[in-house]
């Protein structure tokens, strides 16, 4: 993971809100749908300034679907849109359920979700290779975080899952 992504994870972990998020407040649906639509062309239309390090390549983007902490990145796999942010919930399953419901509302009824692990939902749509994932995890401060990713192809996600 590049320094830009690590910095974003660190900053996202420091952010706090005074009250729990509602499902409608979790995502910017227009931005998410713009990221999904751009997956077919390698995210070219939403890529901004490029940064290349020893560990990763990344592009800034003005398309911010989750906590204004999104970028396009790649490291030993194809480019993907990735966001990180805090999910206000004491219950990890509750955070994933609430996030999944909100994500489903943004994507629309033609998308289906599958619970791949206890902490990850995978959204797919018939006739499309684009895959969207929502994953929750605890950061180093014990705060519940979320990772929202848009992948160009389902196989890209499988590569991501086996890298770590």
Minimal CA–CA distance to 135: which of 85, 75, 68?
85
Q: Please tell me the distance from the alpha carbon of residue 145 to that of residue 139, in angstroms, as a whole number.
A: 7
Domain membership of residue 55 (yes or no) is yes
User: Over the stretch 57-75, which tens digit does the pLDDT of each residue have?
Assistant: 999 999 999 988 999 998 7
Domain membership of residue 19 (yes or no) is no
Domain membership of residue 105 (yes or no) is yes
Find the domain containing 106 and state its range. Answer: 3-14+26-163
How does the average pLDDT of the chain come out, rounded? 82
Domain membership of residue 85 (yes or no) is yes
Task: Please state the pTM of the whole predicted model.
Answer: 0.80
Domain membership of residue 46 (yes or no) is yes
The number of domains in the chain is 1
């Amino acid at each position: 993971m590049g320094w830009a992504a690590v910095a974003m994870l660190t900053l996202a972990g420091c952010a706090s809100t005074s009250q729990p998020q509602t499902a409608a407040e979790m995502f910017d649906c227009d931005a998410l749908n713009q990221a999904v639509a751009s997956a077919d062309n390698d995210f070219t239309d939403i890529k901004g300034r490029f940064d290349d390090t020893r560990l990763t390549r990344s592009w800034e983007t003005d398309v911010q679907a989750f906590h204004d902490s999104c970028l396009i990145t790649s490291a030993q796999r194809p480019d993907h849109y990735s966001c990180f942010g805090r999910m206000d919930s004491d219950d990890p399953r509750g955070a994933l359920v609430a996030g999944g419901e909100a994500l489903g509302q943004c994507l629309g009824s033609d998308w289906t979700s599958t619970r791949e692990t206890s902490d990850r939902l995978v959204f797919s749509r018939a006739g499309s290779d684009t895959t969207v994932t929502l994953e929750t995890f605890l950061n180093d401060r014990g705060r519940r975080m979320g990772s929202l990713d848009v992948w160009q192809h389902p196989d890209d996600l499988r590569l991501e899952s086996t890298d770590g």
